[in-house]
Structure 1
Amino acid sequence: MQIHPLITDSKTLSDFCARIAKSPYVAIDTEFMRENSYWPELCLIQVADAHEAAAIDPKAAGIDLQPLLDLMVDNEDVLKIFHAGGQDIEIVYNLTGKTPHPMFDTQIAAMALGLGEQIGYGNLVEAWLGVQLDKGARFTDWARRPLDKRQIDYAIGDVTYLIQIFPKMLEELRKTGRGDWLDQEMERISDPSHYETLPEDAWKRVRIASKKADVLGRLKALAAWREIEAQDKNLPRGRIVKDETLADIASHPPRTQDDLGKVRGLSATWRTNDIGARLMASLAKHQPLGKDEMPDREPRRPGLGKDGALVADLLKLLLKIRSRDINVASRLLARSDDIEALAAGVRNDLSILEGWRYEQYGRDAVDLVEGRLAFAVKGGRLKMTRTE
């Protein structure tokens, strides 16, 4: 494989993208920093096909990333391969408003092949290629320039090994007949709605004990205000106001800006500064949360109760047995909220009652709940047995 020098100009990048756009699949990875910012700071992009690989410097003066972005989000003929690509996809979405498609995530594929719940890249490379990665550059400050050869070599390894693993993994998925299992998961993680950051929805991420409409209305207003402040200042949300402080203000609103000085988690300067004034203005505009937005008293599905909780425990035990028997990560096979809903009597709109999940787990789960299946120990091994 040809490894190119670091790409820092538009012409070289455009030529590189034109060549790899003819490949059936490419591997993609990014290096970024986000500890001190709201938006992830893109610092390096690594791309490889079966013949060549390069790292691209998005911080290079005047470089035009459009050919690469077009390849990722508009070229349906090239499969984009990531490993644990959620944050990479988020970066692409922030730049384009679109997500890479079609795509393949090797971490999710590894779950279907029984390699654990969230296998790391280093372990994946060792398992499939027998190579132990040099982790010396793992904690690089990717925003600093210049990058040395060791750092660039380390970063390119994230795609040169990935491009070798993918065909091996694809062949194994075909042998086991599990390729179709992944389609739904790949579509889910490439859904653009997962990467939207709408200020009006920010309150849903903040934990608060109250379910009162006026308290939640204040929380919605405050969380939207904080989201806009964080975006405008490019600072982490918690650097503006921490979640627990936001919830405390929503539950016990200050009457005046001067009262902000008494709020735990805020500086006394908020009594008189502009950001304190903007917080108070957001509170003044709040409306009680509408009925259509109010969270259900129970988490959108019937409560379990004591007996239902025991049934859910049995279903989770069945999940462990089925995951062991077919050698697949339990997280890919079924999620806890679906299991608890099934135990509570729900039979509609559950992923475990559809497609391959129904064949591999859902049918037995329903039979267990409805008394047609029971646990048994045979030869010291826990198994399922049919009842009459």
Structure 2
Amino acid sequence: MKIHDLITDTAALSDLCQRFASADFVAVDTEFMRESTYWPLLCLVQISDGKEAAAIDPLADGIDLTPLLDLLTDNEDVLKIFHAGGQDVEIIYNLTGKTPHPIFDTQIAMMAISQSEQIGYSNLVETWLNFSVDKGARFTDWSRRPLTDRQLEYAIGDVTHLAKIFPRMLDRLMETGRGEWLNVEMEKLADPEHYRNDPDEQWRRIRAQGRKPDVLGRLKALAAWREIEAQDKDIPRGRIMRDETLADIAAHPPRQQGDLAKVRGLSNGWKDNDIGKRLMDVVSAAPPLPVDEMPERKRGTPLGKEGALVADLLKLLLKIRSREIDVASRLIARSDDLENLAAGVRKGLPLLEGWRYEQFGRDALDLVEGKVAFAVKDGRITKTRVDDRPVPTA
């Protein structure tokens, strides 16, 4: 495989992307820093089509990333390969408002051909290529220049290894007939809605007690305000205020700015500084949360003691089935879906649709209906069908 020198100018990047535009796939990885900023700072992009590979320096003076971003987001003929690519896709979305498509994530794909829930990159390489990755440069500061040869070798290795692994993984998926199982999961990864950062929706990720409209209204307003403050200052939202502090203010709003000095998690300066004044303006102006925005209650009905036991049996059945077909249980069904099934829900559960129904859902329904039981055979727990024929009487 041809390895290029670090690409630092637009002309070289454009030539590379023009060649990659006719490739079947490109493996992509990024290095970034986000510990002290709101927006992740893109420091390096690595890319390979299996024949050549390069690292691109987004921090180089005058470089225009448009040829690369166009390749990743607009060229539907080239499959984009990532490993655990959520943060990589987020960065591309932040730069373009679009996501790479079509997309393939090797971490997700491993769930369909093994019981690995979230296999790390190093373990992936060791599994498929039978050697260990040098982890020495993993925690480097990628924003510092110049980059060393060791750093570049480590970074480019992420995509050269991935470019070797992907065709083998694809062959395995075709052999097992499980490629279609992943279509929905890959589309979720590429869904722009997953990366759209709407300040008005940030309150939903904060744990708050109760469902009082006035409290939730303040929570929504404060969360949106904090998000905008963090974006404007380009600092992590937690540097403005932690979630617990924000939820506490929403539930117990201070009457005047001087009371902010008494709030746990805020410094004494909030009682008379500008940001404290802005916070108080938000608190005083926040309307109650409208009825149509109230968070949904947990779907299903309360399990009760017996239902909880049924859910435990379903989880055991899932573990057994996962082992039998060598698929990660998380790909087959989620715990809350099993609990809903145990509670009597039958509509809208993914485990009762498509391949999930064929591989697990049918047995799960039979278990709930008393047609499946468990047995121990040769020291292993297995499922067994219950013979429901009437027992002959004397």
Indicate the TM-score class for this superposition, using the shorter chain for normalisation.
Answer: over 0.9
Q: Which aligned pairs between 1:125-274 and structure 2 lie closer than 5 A?
A: 125-274=125-274
In the comparison of the two structures, how many residue pairs are matched? 387
For the residue of structure 1 that corresponds to 2:43, the secondary structure is strand
For the residue of structure 1 that corresponds to 2:157, the secondary structure is helix
For the residue of structure 1 that corresponds to 2:292, the secondary structure is coil
Correspondence 1:275 to 2:275: yes
Read off the aligned partner of 1:354 and give its amino acid letter.
E
Corresponding residue of 1:5: 5
Unaligned runs of 5+ in 1: none
Corresponding residue of 1:313: 312
Contact 1:218 1:250 in 2 (8 A): yes
For the residue of structure 1 that corresponds to 2:193, the secondary structure is helix
Corresponding residue of 2:119: 119
Of 15-24 and 376-385, the range deviating more from structure 2: 376-385
Q: Distance in 2 between matches of 1:22 and 1:124?
A: 27
Q: Distance in 2 between matches of 1:222 and 1:277?
A: 13
Corresponding residue of 2:57: 57
Q: Distance in 2 between matches of 1:341 and 1:98?
A: 35
Q: Distance in 2 between matches of 1:196 and 1:343?
A: 34
Read off the aligned partner of 2:319 and give its amino acid letter.
K
Q: Distance in 2 between matches of 1:165 and 1:194?
A: 27
Read off the aligned partner of 2:367 and give its amino acid letter.
L
Q: Distance in 1 between matches of 2:340 and 2:200?
A: 28
For the residue of structure 2 that corresponds to 1:292, the secondary structure is helix
Contact 2:2 2:51 in 1 (8 A): yes
Contact 1:210 1:251 in 2 (8 A): no
Q: Distance in 2 between matches of 1:192 and 1:304?
A: 35
Aligned-pair CA distance for 1:115:
4.9
For the residue of structure 1 that corresponds to 2:336, the secondary structure is helix
Q: Distance in 2 between matches of 1:241 and 1:380?
A: 53
TM-score where L is the length of structure 2:
0.96
Deviations 1:8-46 (A, max 9, x none): 000000000000111010000000011111111100000
Seq. identity, %: 69
Contact 2:299 2:340 in 1 (8 A): no
Correspondence 1:323 to 2:322: yes
Read off the aligned partner of 2:274 and give its amino acid letter.
D
TM-score where L is the length of structure 1:
0.98
Correspondence 1:351 to 2:350: yes
Q: Distance in 2 between matches of 1:308 and 1:207?
A: 26
Correspondence 1:385 to 2:384: yes
Contact 1:226 1:241 in 2 (8 A): yes
For the residue of structure 2 that corresponds to 1:306, the secondary structure is helix
For the residue of structure 2 that corresponds to 1:385, the secondary structure is strand
Q: Distance in 2 between matches of 1:14 and 1:262?
A: 57
Of 378-387 and 207-216, the range deviating more from structure 2: 378-387
Aligned-pair CA distance for 1:201:
0.5
Unaligned runs of 5+ in 2: 389-394
Q: Distance in 2 between matches of 1:130 and 1:375?
A: 38
Contact 2:45 2:57 in 1 (8 A): yes
Contact 1:112 1:332 in 2 (8 A): yes
Deviations 1:325-368 (A, max 9, x none): 00111111111121111111111111111111111111111111
Of 115-124 and 35-44, the range deviating more from structure 2: 115-124
